[in-house]
Amino acid sequence: MVEAAAKRTDRIGVVATDPLRVLGLQTILPKFEVIHLTAPGALDDVNLSLVLVDAECTSHLFELIATFHHIRPQLKLIVLGTDTSPEYIQRIIGAGAKGYLTLSANESELSMAIEIVRDGSVWAPRRVLSRLLDRQTGFTSSASAPPKFTPRELQVLELLRAGRSNREIGRALTINESTVKAHIGRLLRKVGVNNRIALTVHPSTQFE
């Protein structure tokens, strides 16, 4: 039963019209069970943890994202496309997707994006995330003293800024994931933000 449950959490749906695109994703994501689905099929499959959507599969991408977000709000969506303009990617994230990658993304980048999104954060180019967060939280200069971080918190911050998942941070620092989450929780409270992406682009965490 435990193995079956673990397998279900690793199911990823792919909504794409090009079978070669699906085959390519199945090849570069061997640790996941990659399933080729239509949009309705992805909405109906309750065992999916995440869905990759090829932007070229529909001329109504934003409507499709909004439908997913409305019907299955807990289902995480990553869009794969060719447009790299910040404005377009901001619209993708604003519509309800949790991530955006170019179709030319390599195996390492794709795997990292999946891990980050499954951890509950958003994946997009850093400049796009900065603009989104500036708009949502209105980062401004403050007269209050900047937060002070412990040496371990600085290590965690450095790995977060490198795009590492909780599992990868734990492995790099030889600590378990629950300890990683505890460190991140303290960092969020110190900086005054509510998610790890906001943490990595906040002015108080921009240091050498």
Q: Which of 84, 107, 135 is the last residue of a domain?
A: 135
Separation between Cα atoms, residue 52 and residue 114, nearest integer Å: 9
The string over 135-160, giving b where at least 16 C-beta atoms fall within 10 Å of a residue's C-beta and e elsewhere, is eeeebeeeeeeeeebeeebebbbebb
Model pTM above 0.85: no
Q: Which of 135, 155, 178 is the last residue of a domain?
A: 135
Question: Domain holding 79: CATH number?
Answer: 3.40.50.2300
Q: Which of 89, 117, 135 is the last residue of a domain?
A: 135
Q: How many domains is the chain built from?
A: 2
Residues 122 and 151 in one domain: no
Q: What percent of the chain has pLDDT over 70?
A: 87
User: Helix 126-137 crosses helix 86-95 at what angle (to 10 degrees)?
Assistant: 60
Task: State the residue range of the domain holding 158.
Answer: 144-205
Residues 168 and 129 in one domain: no
Residues 47 and 90 in one domain: yes
120 in the Ramachandran plot: left (φ > 0), alpha (ψ -120 to 50) or beta? left
Residue 115: pLDDT band with limits 50, 70, 90:
confident
pLDDT confidence of residue 5: 41
Separation between Cα atoms, residue 32 and residue 112, nearest integer Å: 13
Longest dimension (CA), the chain: 56
Residues 119 and 153 in one domain: no
For 29-58, the pLDDT digits (tens) are 888 889 998 888 888 887 887 999 999 988
Separation between Cα atoms, residue 106 and residue 103, nearest integer Å: 9
For the chain, the average pLDDT equals 82
Residues 92 and 161 in one domain: no
- Which secondary-structure segment (H or E) carries 144? none
Of 15-29, 96-110, 113-127, 170-184, least confident by mean pLDDT is 113-127
For the residues 176-190, what does the mean pLDDT come to?
Answer: 89
Residues 47 and 99 in one domain: yes
Residues 55 and 116 in one domain: yes
Residues 78 and 173 in one domain: no
Residues 105 and 150 in one domain: no
Residues 115 and 70 in one domain: yes
Q: Answer positive or negative: Cα dihedral of 152, 154, 158, 160.
A: positive
Residues 120 and 180 in one domain: no
181 to each of 124, 160, 202, how far by Cα in Å? Answer: 22, 12, 19
Whether pLDDT at 74 is above 70: yes
